[in-house]
A = this chain, B = another copy of it.
Amino acid sequence: MKRNERLVDFTNYLINHPNKMLNLNKLSKRYEVAKSSISEDLVFIKHVFEDQGVGIVETFPGSLGGVRFTPYITDKMSQEMSEQLAKLLSEENRILPGGYIYLSDILGTPSNLKKIGQIIAHEYKDKQIDVIMTIATKGIPIAQSVAEILDVPFVIVRRDQKVTEGATLNVNYMSGSSSRVENMTLSKRSLSIGQSVLIVDDFMKGAGTINGMKSLVYEFDCFLAGVAVFLEGPFKGDRLVKEYKSILRVDSIDIANRSIDVKLGNIFENQPKD
């Protein structure tokens, strides 16, 4: 393979193996060239990726060392993507009877989910995250998208007990909006002691559901890395969870005029410009 061909293939290889330590000896075998040539290629790709905001290419010396590609977006890209999502959410036909907001189409479109995943992954880029947790149903696509970018597993909490989950750990929680006591359940094998868990969900009002997931994290003897939601809805009074990040925020819904005022969420408060 000539150098140009190798650059094309190597670029593809890195992009398809994000967040993984790739061994330089193996790469040198793969391309049948000296390690020094691989290193030269990497310097070159690193430079292009950083210039174009694709991601970070890090090389680690030593026999256990190698190269790792970490996809990266800038604060500015994160904000631009959120503004695009806000525009989608502002479409007038999203208001349902009862003042609910229709999200299923947004959360069923891969390009939107990729944006949501990138924004959340970017927000927690300096934290150790071992696993993503969400609750069925609409949180799942968001959890999967974040998990893909961070290359970690995701686990799905359920409101109903299923025979296909084996032994489960169950907690009761207080729904923030309706003040009812409900139950949520997660398979015992989902988490290991000491893992760092990022909770994500599509929508948050009183944060009762998220508070329930927090108690599950602690019952599993795990740590909470953070809480991130796609959309923060209007809520009067104290939320059950104070520490969370939101991509978008809706303060009020005008049911008569079927319009909503969508703002950027608290991720973008006081954020320094790039």
Contacts and interface: CB of A to CB of B under 8 A. Distances in A.
Interface of A: 3-5, 7-9, 11-12, 15-16, 44-45, 47-49, 51-52, 54, 96-98, 100-105, 108-111, 113-114, 136-138, 140-141, 144-145, 147-148, 151-156, 158, 163-166, 187, 189-190, 203
7 contacts: A3-B4, A4-B44, A11-B12, A12-B52, A104-B187, A108-B147, A137-B140
B108 A153 contact: yes
Contacts of A147: 108, 110
B96 A163 contact: yes
A130 to B, nearest CB: 13
A11 B44 CA distance: 14
A197 to B, nearest CB: 13
Contacts of A48: 5, 8-9
Contact of A108 (B15, B47, B111, B156): B156
A103 B164 contact: yes
A32 B154 CA distance: 42
B12 A153 contact: no
A57 to B, nearest CB: 11
Looking at A97, A98, A105, A108, which has the most chain B CB atoms within 10 Å of its CB? Answer: A108
B98 A163 contact: yes
Nearest to A203: B164
A96 B151 CA distance: 27
Contacts of A104: 155-156, 164-165, 187, 189-190
Contacts of A52: 9, 12
A8 B9 contact: no
